[in-house]
A = this chain, B = another copy of it.
């Protein structure tokens, strides 16, 4: 009977799934309040265009340190803000540093304003008040009423084109502002150059070159308006305008089609009837205005907002159907598909429809046989996002690895990407985690390129002596505390990455590399101070640094974390770590205390990217270094604690509100953690083909794999209270250990968790 019941239940759910509109569950608004740093606007999966409202982007007074205001606006939108400045075309999703915000469009009525105005006095600028009651954010669709202008704004996109629709009131003073100064993480010197041509009464092309997080970045655009503008104009806001020679022969401020400068704003004037819609196609290209026009022609041949919106939502539906789940509540469904949504935004497509893109060498390259991607936030995403792609997006992850290899080939430093941003490396955060992503893809048979060349790239990167302490690390087995402010965390991360290289070398029978990097993978031991049971900064003379605080995040040798969290970072060998920390007997209560201790707020206030909301005890889920930690119980004699802890984290850190993310989503890493954990397993050490089992929160799930196989995950007796796993079977066979392999998962079949309210001790 039991068996019959299960089959019946599955049949029902899968049938429902096949018909289910998953797009309805994805809520782009989640994470837009406080520090989630997601954006609510429109994008298609991995789209090059992220068309989204910006509520502010406080000019960045660069003083060698971060300012709270600019950090707040990493995604351009903060849910609590009362006004919208306009709609720009490029946004990072969930980052803790930022860039982009290219090409702000704002429709207005009445007196022309070319400055954005302020939150307090929107009437002095082009921005507008708005309210969330008049706002709707869906995958690839965003709608809002701009109260001050009585205009309804609707946004949708294709991969490379932003499509705007503005419904105007009757007006003989209707304007569309194109602010080419606007940007995220903006400051005086960010806008390097802007070039604009008004080709005719409804077509504008140009480019903007910026030097922000990406040092040398140019974005080309092509704009078409569905209605001819009656007049247009511009203003150059540069305090110091370069020599203009005889350009003064023209009045360049009004109806002059040939503009260039550092700080330009433009406007286009229209007469509108009540309810008249003006549509805008806004295509981007990393290569040229001609390519932007071609992107537009190919992707948006028609003036049909709904067609584009529906096509993009169908793309989302198709992506969501890769993992069809049923969960206990609608709220969980929303969390799950919002996580899927956020996981499928980044990396972003960086090729034009003709396959061209601009490389790190600033030359135009053809991505031959793959889509080139950018926006690799690798310190975050190597942990769970790329491993998730290896399971449910292997085709794309193959292209992403190819993109990393293209980056390497173009890098004059001969390094794989650290933080890839629009043909630049931002070098943000530590480690050389491309090697983790590459190793994981090759270990799992995803990468179709030359594996030995990829290994060579990994080794070259890991041996780049001048990069952040690598020379010291190679010579001494750790980075000396005197030489680097994040000497301990970098040593730990390098050791993990080195282990990845060793695994790859082993697979490829490169014995010398295997031996060298297997040895380097042990280097974490060099910064472990057995006397205190924590990782600890070590001086060049081999002694540990004396003054030391294992709770402080600031100045202790760790990047965005404290010794407490980072000391648990040996994903490649938890067993040895636990043994060195005294075995299960000592380690389990130690780990327990991480989640239960009480820390005063001020402990974390010095560190960007670690916020009160993202903390449970002293466990920092809102930032990445401890994402694997709850799964470490699996290596102890109390694996059920992984289960209860995971449930607890899922519940505390993810919910349906605009403030529903406990920290920066970090280009999908937080969301990938959620997806894996909800399905009941997690890749503690990418590069290994083993997943640690946790506790599913799905009632059931169907993973439609690209190899044509189907994996079902079923949680029998699933409930809010039944957080523990009594038994797990894979294709009917009980698993004796809390681990499952990649080979098992991709072979397809049934993974069944029997849930219980009590731990299976």
**A contact set with B: CB distance below 8 Å:** 60, 62, 97, 185, 187-190, 192-193, 195, 197-199, 205, 207, 209, 211-213, 215-216, 240-247, 249-251, 255-258, 260, 288-290, 361-364, 411-413, 418-419, 426-429, 466-468
Q: Is the Cβ of B363 less than 8 Å from the Cβ of A251?
A: no
Pair A289/B216 contact, Cβ less than 8 Å: no
* B189, B245, B468: the one within 8 Å of A426 (CB): B245
Q: Whole-angstrom distance between the alpha carbons of A230 and B260 in the complex?
A: 41
Give the number of times this chain occurs in the complex, counting copies: 2
Are A412 and B198 within 8 A (Cβ)? Answer: yes
Q: What are the residues of chain B within 8 A of A199 when measuring CB–CB?
A: 412
Residue in B62, B260, B361 whose beta carbon sits within 8 Å of that of A197 in the complex: B361
Task: Pull 25 A–B residue pairs with CB atoms less than 8 Å apart, ordered by A.
Answer: A60-B243, A62-B243, A189-B240, A193-B193, A195-B216, A197-B412, A198-B412, A199-B412, A207-B362, A211-B243, A212-B245, A215-B242, A215-B244, A245-B426, A245-B427, A245-B428, A246-B418, A246-B428, A250-B466, A255-B466, A258-B411, A258-B413, A289-B363, A290-B361, A290-B363
CB distance from A68 to the nearest CB of B (A): 17
Given contacts A216-B195, A258-B413, contact A288 B97 (CB under 8 A): no
A190 touching B249 in the complex, CB below 8 Å, given contacts A362-B207, A412-B198, A412-B258: no
Docked complex Cα distance between A601 and B466 (Å): 64
Residues of B near A361 (CB, < 8 A) are: 197, 205, 289-290
Q: Tell me whether B211 and A242 are in contact (CB under 8 A).
A: yes
Dominant SS at the A interface? Answer: loop
Q: How far is the CB of A204 from chain B (nearest CB, A)?
A: 10
Q: Assuming the A-B contacts A187-B243, A428-B245, A467-B249, are A215 and B362 also in contact, with contact meaning beta carbons closer than 8 angstroms in the complex? A: no
**Complex Cα spacing A363 to B294, Å:** 13
A188:B240 contact, CB within 8 angstroms = yes
17 additional contacts, CB 8 Å, given A257-B413, A288-B362? Answer: A97-B245, A188-B240, A189-B242, A190-B242, A192-B192, A192-B242, A195-B362, A199-B412, A207-B362, A212-B243, A213-B245, A215-B245, A245-B427, A246-B429, A247-B427, A250-B467, A288-B363
A257 to B429, CA, bound (A): 21
Query: With A and B bound together, what is the CA distance between A200 and B212 in angstroms?
Result: 27
Q: How far is the CB of A594 from chain B (nearest CB, A)?
A: 29
A583, B480: Cα distance in complex, Å = 96
Complex alpha-carbon distance, A283 and B213, angstroms = 31
* Least Cβ–Cβ distance between A187 and chain B, in angstroms: 7
Distance between A74 CB and nearest chain B CB, rounded to angstroms: 13
